[in-house]
Amino acid sequence: MSNRSKIFFKGIADVSPLMIPVVPFGIIFGVLAIDLGLTPVTTIAMSIIIFGGASQIIFLQLFSAGASSLIILSSVGAVNSRHLLYGAVLSEHMSDFKMTWKIIISYFLVDQAFAVTNSYLKKSTDKDKAFHSFGAGATCWVIWQTTTIIGIFLGSIIPEKLGLSFAVPLTFLALIVDDLRKLINVIVIIISGLIATLGYEIIPFKAYVIVAAISGLIIATILTKFKGLNNG
């Protein structure tokens, strides 16, 4: 086996355990999309073109609530702003990558791919190290497309009274449940959640996601400032 394929397969092996929670997430997306009346072709196109779980689910939620394109776009942008945080870490390890590689890896870089790419690039000095990110990203892609298709099939079978849309808040809850151990996070979570719930009908244009998120970040900015003052 060539060095490149060895590194490619190591990328697959490293990311595989992280794929387990992605399976129900992808299936839920497919089921929901069909429930909301999207065609199978549109559903698959979303998974291929957007290729980001949280972005796609927020898209569906706001679309089904009748939000405008501008609100959907800005909310998807807000969801993705967490990616900017990774920039500081990854860019220094990828500065010698060709632009084509940067484009390919960017498309594949979901949270799970980021996690393994980051820990591999920190240690690796191999000239073919880009193949690791490629293997990890391609694995995420195949799993996401496959589970979307499974969800599309199940969406037409699963009875509506099972209330599977409840899996959406549960999935997002699973993503932040560990943050409930930290006081500032808890305060931010409660404030954002309350504003979104109370503002759901009041805030115009279904902008409740973006208004709640920005309010939460303002609170986080203020509270972390106090934390900094206490420590210093």
Partner 1 sequence: MVEWSLIIYCGIITFFSRYLMIAILKKEMFTDRIRDVLSYVPSAIFPAIIFPAIFLDINGDILIENNPKIFAAIIAMIIGLVSKNVLATIFSGLISYWFLIFVVFS
Residues in 132-151 at the binding interface with partner 1, rule: CB under 8 A: none
Among 12, 31, 61, 144, binds partner 1 (CB under 8 A): 61
Report CA-CA distances (Å) from 76 to 50, 54, 107, 133, 207. 10, 8, 16, 24, 12
Q: Is 196 in the site for partner 1 (CB under 8 A)?
A: yes
DSSP 8-state symbol, 207: T
Amino acid identity for residue 37 in this structure: G
Task: For residue 205, give the 3-state DSSP assignment.
Answer: helix
Helical residues (DSSP H) of the chain, grouped into ranges = 3-15, 22-35, 40-49, 53-64, 69-93, 99-108, 111-123, 130-155, 167-176, 183-199, 208-231
Q: Could you tell me which stretch among 1-9, 141-149, 151-159, 194-202 binds partner 1 (CB under 8 A)? A: 194-202
CA–CA dist 125, 35 (Å, integer): 48
Q: Which is nearer to partner 1, 5 or 197 (CB)?
A: 197
Q: Which is nearer to partner 1, 5 or 42 (CB)?
A: 42
Total residues belonging to the chain? 232
Among 3, 5, 119, 179, binds partner 1 (CB under 8 A): 179
Q: Which is nearer to partner 1, 5 or 170 (CB)?
A: 170
Q: Binding-site residue total for partner 1 (CB under 8 A)?
A: 93
Q: Is 115 in the site for partner 1 (CB under 8 A)?
A: no
Minimum gap (Å) between residue 77 Cβ and partner 1: 5
Q: Is 183 in the site for partner 1 (CB under 8 A)?
A: no
Among 180, 183, 205, 226, binds partner 1 (CB under 8 A): 180
Q: Which is nearer to partner 1, 142 or 194 (CB)?
A: 194
Among 4, 9, 86, 115, binds partner 1 (CB under 8 A): 86
Q: Is 59 in the site for partner 1 (CB under 8 A)?
A: yes
CA–CA dist 120, 117 (Å, integer): 5
Residue 8, both tokens: 């490619």
Q: Is 229 in the site for partner 1 (CB under 8 A)?
A: no
Q: Which of 44, 24, 19, 57 lies closest to 152 in space, CA to CA?
A: 44
Minimum gap (Å) between residue 1 Cβ and partner 1: 27
Longest dimension (CA), the chain: 61
Q: Distance from CA of residue 47 to its chain's centroid?
A: 12
Q: Which is nearer to partner 1, 61 or 148 (CB)?
A: 61
Q: Is 51 in the site for partner 1 (CB under 8 A)?
A: yes
Among 12, 32, 58, 143, binds partner 1 (CB under 8 A): 58
